[in-house]
Structure 1
Amino acid sequence: MSHAGPPRLAFLASDRPEAQEAKARLAARYGSHSVDEADVVVSLGGDGFMLETLHHCLRTTQSIYGMNRGSVGFLMNDYLEEGLLERIDAAERAVIHPLMMTASDIAGEVHHGLAINEVSLLRQTRQTAKLRVSIDDKVRMEELVCDGVLISTPAGSTAYNLSAHGPIIPLDARVLALTPISAFRPRRWRGALLSHKAHVCIEVLESDKRPVSAVADNFEVRRVQKVEIVENREIHLTMLFDAGRSLEERVLAEQFQS
């Protein structure tokens, strides 16, 4: 998409009034193109909207530069209208790969979803979930009794994974986090770090009595029987961060927060 001259920008904004107002001002100042015609997509909102933008751009080659016009802005740059082209030109790049979820439900239907943050399995009723966990075709845990479990990418490790007391993962660590959610048995199990090449398979035990849903970011499948998760290395998403405020720096700094 590159061409001579300054990058062509596409502006996407969340529904929040401040994001919509920012989109109008920036488009008037810098010009606006469709996503397909742009070199860089500028996402205006919070982390939730950045996730929407990344999903919107899964099959494109544009880089994505976020500016915070929402409540949480871990994945966003500070909002400034001045010098946007210069900031984009000097930005540091972070390339991320999504997880691919293949979920089979109790009716035998197979569903596919992509997750930039995490794939999570969650109990649907008051009954705890009973899960069997296999890694690379070897059963590693015969029975995990819990509220759920999640598999997180490094980019998503500071989101739901961190809230579930999972580890923060450096972006270049080439590992995934497998983190239980309120584990009841084994009570002291805190999860595992897996190679980014790992093939994770989670089977739902007693699925009729203890129904479980599977969620790939915002795509949910109810009453699943088996869920398989692998990293999709064929999809490359490039995020841009202001110089000195790279995603790697943010992830490192987050580990020293009190």
Structure 2
Amino acid sequence: MPRNFKSIAFAASATDEAEAARAELAALYDHVPMEQADVVVALGGDGFMLQTLHAIMDTGKMAYGMNRGSVGFLMNSYTKDGLIERIEKAVCNEIRPLKMQTINADGGKSLAYAINEVSLFRQSYQAAKFKVTVDGRERLAELICDGLLLSTPAGSTAYNFSAHGPILPLEAPLIAMTPVSAFRPRRWRGALLPEKLTVDITVLEPDKRPVNAVADNTEVKSVISVRVTQSEGRTTRLLSDPDHSWSDRILAEQFVD
């Protein structure tokens, strides 16, 4: 069914290729400032698309990306022709981010949202040591590793996949918990959790083994505890071409060499 929208805006990453694409498209199509648009056409790579999705969260706007970066998993292919028709026919994917709440070593608290993943990483040469509790029940009394990821389906093909985590279909109501270089328990390879659960991660020996926590591109240093839940009510929307939908891309990733 055709998608109805009134106006588009162009946003480009700070690269020559993306800026050139924005100039080319701006000369061909009517456009408005981002705050006035129904659809934001993002030109760049996956990192820039993540920034755009965060910027339009809860605004009702939709993001339509065209790849002017490297990998471009979140992006559609670039062409200057038929842009309005492509947006009209695009499939809308509604994404609900993870909410990360942290307490750091000096007692400070922070809140951030992750469309891809929440990640915890060792800050020094020594491995991190965590206690992991799920919905109030201790599941790992001591996990020693370089890091720990909690990924949404949308982010499961990113760092999670590089750390040998599972790829999740976009519609799966799951979170992937994946360790990075787990030392103890040596055979633990991660877990699949229902998206509605609350995960509490306590940093053990934080003075000796300091840890940073990251929600997409928001980093908090020297955390002592992290709580991860699915956000309540917050959403962002991504458009993909129907012949190359996001669900199709995730499925295809599971069969590549």
TM bucket (normalised to shorter chain) is: over 0.9
Other-structure match for 2:56 = 57
Contact 2:167 2:250 in 1 (8 A): yes
Q: Percent identity?
A: 55
- Whole-angstrom CA distance in 2 between matches of 1:6 and 1:216: 31
Contact 1:93 1:246 in 2 (8 A): no
Other-structure match for 2:216 = 217
Q: TM-score, normalised by structure 1?
A: 0.97
Other-structure match for 2:76 = 77
- Whole-angstrom CA distance in 2 between matches of 1:215 and 1:226: 12
Other-structure match for 1:131 = 130
How far apart are residue 64 of structure 1 and its match?
A: 0.6
Question: AA paired with 1:148?
Answer: G
1:75-109 deviations in Å (ceiling 9; x for gaps): 10000110000001011111111111001001111
Contact 2:90 2:241 in 1 (8 A): yes
CA gap 1:228/1:143 in 2 versus in 1, 3 angstroms: same
Moved over 6 A (4+): none
Question: AA paired with 2:123?
Answer: Q
Contact 2:54 2:236 in 1 (8 A): no
Other-structure match for 1:94 = 93
1:141-180 deviations in Å (ceiling 9; x for gaps): 0000000101000000000000000000001111000000
What is the correspondence of 1:96-245 to structure 2 with a 5 Å cutoff? 96-245=95-244
Contact 1:6 1:85 in 2 (8 A): no
How far apart are residue 49 of structure 1 and its match?
A: 0.6
How far apart are residue 226 of structure 1 and its match?
A: 0.3
Contact 2:201 2:226 in 1 (8 A): yes
Q: Alignment RMSD, CA only?
A: 1.2
How far apart are residue 130 of structure 1 and its match?
A: 0.5
Question: AA paired with 2:52?
Answer: T
How far apart are residue 134 of structure 1 and its match?
A: 0.5
Question: AA paired with 1:188?
Answer: R
Question: AA paired with 2:81?
Answer: E
- Whole-angstrom CA distance in 2 between matches of 1:45 and 1:172: 25
How far apart are residue 6 of structure 1 and its match?
A: 5.9
Contact 1:99 1:115 in 2 (8 A): yes
Contact 1:94 1:239 in 2 (8 A): yes
Unaligned ranges ≥5, structure 2: none
Contact 2:53 2:237 in 1 (8 A): no
1:11-59 deviations in Å (ceiling 9; x for gaps): 1000111100111111121122112211101000001110111111123
- Whole-angstrom CA distance in 2 between matches of 1:66 and 1:24: 15
- Whole-angstrom CA distance in 2 between matches of 1:71 and 1:249: 19
Unaligned ranges ≥5, structure 1: none
- Whole-angstrom CA distance in 2 between matches of 1:49 and 1:82: 22
Question: AA paired with 1:199?
Answer: T
